[in-house]
Chains A and B, each alone.
Chain A
Amino acid sequence: MSASSPPEVVIEVRGLRTRYGKQVVHHGVDLDVYRGEVLGVIGGSGAGKSVLLRAILGLKEPEGGSIRMFGTDTTHLDAEARKPFERRFGLLFQDGALFSSLTVIENVLVPLIEYHRLPAAFAHELALLKIRLAGLPAEAAHKYPSQLSGGMRKRAGLARALALDPELLFLDEPTSGLDPIGAAQFDELIRTLADALGLTVFLVTHDLDSLYNLCDRVAVLADGRMVVADRVEVVERNPHPWIRECFQGPRARGARDAVAAHAPA
Chain B
Amino acid sequence: MSLDATPADLRIDPNASTLVLHGSWRLPDLGALIGRLERDTPRLAGATVQVDASALSALDTAGALLLVRLLRPLGPDLEVHTYTRMRPADLALLRLVWTRLGVQVPAREHETTLRELLARMGGAVAEFGVMARQFFGFIGLTLATLAGVLVGRRKLRLTSVVFHMEQVGLDAVPIVSLLTFLVGAVVAFVGATALRDFGAEIFTVELVSISFLREFGVLLTAILLAGRSGSAFTAQIGSMKSREELDAIQALGLDQIELLVIPRLLALLAMLPLLTFLAMVSGIVGGALVGITALDITPGMFISRLQEMTDIRHFWIGMIKAPLFALLIATVGCLEGFKVEGSAESVGRHTTSSVVQSIFLVIVFDALFAMFFMELDL
Contact = CB atoms under 8 A, between A and B. Distances in A.
Interface of A: 87, 100-101, 116-119, 121-122, 124-126, 128-130, 132-133, 137-139, 141-142, 146, 162, 164-165, 167, 196-198
Q: Interface of chain B, helix or strand or loop or mixed?
A: helix
A179 B269 CA distance: 49
Contacts of A117: 31
B93 A196 contact: yes
Nearest to A70: B3
A133 B96 CA distance: 8
A122 B106 CA distance: 15
Interface string B7-47: 00000000000000000001110010011001000000000
B153 interface: no
B120 interface: no
B62 A165 contact: yes
Nearest first, the 5 closest Cβ-Cβ pairs linking A and B are A132-B100, A165-B60, A138-B103, A119-B38, A196-B96
A133 B35 CA distance: 24
B363 interface: no
Given A116-B31, A122-B34, A128-B105, 15 more contacts: A100-B343, A119-B34, A119-B35, A121-B38, A125-B101, A129-B61, A129-B97, A129-B101, A133-B96, A138-B104, A138-B105, A141-B106, A165-B26, A165-B61, A197-B60
A138 B106 CA distance: 7
Interface of B: 1, 26-28, 31, 34-35, 38, 60-62, 65-66, 69, 89, 92-93, 96-97, 100-101, 103-106, 108, 342-343, 345
A88 to B, nearest CB: 10
Nearest to B62: A126
Contacts of A197: 60-61, 93
A124 B107 CA distance: 11
B165 to A, nearest CB: 36
B208 to A, nearest CB: 48
A128 B101 contact: yes
A118 B34 CA distance: 7
Given A125-B69, A197-B93, A132 B101 contact: yes
A129 B104 CA distance: 11
Contacts of A146: 342-343
A227 to B, nearest CB: 32
A218 B81 CA distance: 42
B106 A139 contact: yes
A100 B27 CA distance: 27
Contacts of B35: 119
Contacts of A162: 61
A142 B105 CA distance: 11
